[in-house]
């Protein structure tokens, strides 16, 4: 595919993402309206929080993020990472507004540089062959080291949230701190292994989605539970697409 075709694919995926999120927000509005109509609003049932600046920033970040994932389902299409950079910048703002400073630093100091490196690596000239690129799995050694560092990141984030970021929004609940650490660790390696187009990156994106679902079940944020379930489907489908390419 030439560069024009790649950018067109990103444009199509952005439109698809906007339509999907429009439908999702419309469905959630209908649910919220129905609850209010049947006078159950005394339970403080709220899905759409337009008065919350962090939530509002998260909507375009999520839309762009889905376009990013849909685009890099094609391991030839580096243009998705430009969307990923915009998504990461917006998510950094969202985490600052939510006082989750460890996550905000991670997005600006780690994820954006990783996505820039992905663009550089994915744009490298192909070998002199007509065969399409086929993604690979990690070696057993790489997988073992990755799992070990994942555990260390979870432990380090737990200690930071407990003893350093004492005004962080996630310092009171042990399970919340664990899943927050898993969310960070899995997203680190999902982004890192995408640089080298490893199939295992999608396993970490799936772990990221599951950790997000568990985290927001504990917190009680229904919208984020729905959102991460949506991400789980998107990330799982992308992982299956890469596995099929390998087979």
pLDDT at 108: 93
Alpha carbons 65 and 69: distance in angstroms, whole number: 6
Q: How far apart are CA 208 and CA 205, in angstroms?
A: 5
Model's pTM, two decimal places? 0.86
Residues facing residue 198 across a β-bridge: 136
Q: Where are the domains of the chain?
A: 3-126+134-246
Instruction: Report the alpha-carbon distance of residue 29 to residue 40 in Å, rounded.
Output: 15
And the tokens for 245?
């390419």
Instruction: Give the tokens for residue 176.
Output: 């919340």
Task: Please give the pLDDT value at position 14.
Answer: 96
Chain segment 97-119, per-residue pLDDT in tens: 988 776 788 899 999 999 999 99
Q: How confident is the model at residue 160 (pLDDT cuts 50, 70, 90)?
A: confident
pLDDT of residue 48: 80
pLDDT in tens, 42-91: 555 677 888 889 889 989 999 999 999 999 999 989 999 999 999 999 99
- Alpha-carbon distance 169 to 180, whole Å? 11
Continuous H helices in the chain:
3-37, 53-72, 80-97, 101-106, 112-122, 140-163, 174-195, 200-219, 222-246
For residue 221, what are its two tokens?
Answer: 């944020």
pLDDT of residue 68: 95
Q: What is the mean pLDDT of residues 27-32?
A: 85
Band (pLDDT 50/70/90 cuts) for residue 32 is: confident
Sign of CA dihedral 223, 228, 232, 237: positive
- Is the model's pLDDT at 131 over the cut of 70? no
Kindly state the tokens that stand for 223: 């919208």
The pLDDT assigned to 220 comes to: 80
For CA atoms 153, 225, 95, 101, the dihedral sign is negative
Specify whether the backbone of 220 is left (phi greater than 0), alpha (psi in -120 to 50) or beta.
Answer: left
Give the residue with greater pLDDT, 159 vs 13: 13
Buried/exposed 1-29: b ≥16 CB within 10 Å, e otherwise = eeeeebeebbeebbeebeebbeebeeebe
């Amino acid at each position: 595919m030439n560069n024009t075709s790649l950018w067109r694919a990103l444009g199509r995926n952005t439109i698809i993402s906007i339509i999907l999120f429009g439908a999702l927000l419309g469905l959630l509005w209908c649910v919220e309206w129905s609850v209010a109509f049947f006078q159950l609003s005394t339970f403080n049932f709220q899905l759409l929080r337009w008065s919350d600046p962090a939530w509002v920033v998260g909507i375009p970040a999520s839309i762009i993020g889905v376009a990013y994932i849909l685009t890099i389902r094609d391991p030839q299409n580096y243009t998705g990472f430009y969307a990923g950079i915009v998504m990461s910048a917006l998510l950094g703002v969202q985490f600052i507004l939510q006082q989750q400073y460890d996550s905000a630093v991670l997005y600006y100091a780690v994820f954006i540089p990783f996505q820039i490196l992905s663009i550089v690596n994915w744009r490298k000239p192909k070998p002199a062959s007509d065969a399409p690129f086929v993604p690979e799995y990690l070696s057993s050694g790489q997988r073992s080291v990755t799992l070990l560092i994942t555990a260390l990141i979870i432990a380090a984030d737990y200690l930071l949230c407990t003893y350093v970021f004492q005004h962080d929004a996630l310092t009171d609940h042990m399970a919340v701190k664990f899943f927050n650490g898993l969310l960070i660790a899995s997203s680190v390696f999902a982004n890192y292994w995408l640089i080298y187009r490893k199939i295992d990156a999608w396993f970490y994106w799936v772990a990221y989605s599951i950790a997000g679902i568990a985290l927001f079940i504990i917190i009680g944020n229904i919208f984020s539970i729905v959102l991460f379930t949506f991400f789980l489907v998107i990330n799982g489908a992308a992982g299956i697409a890469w596995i099929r390419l390998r087979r």
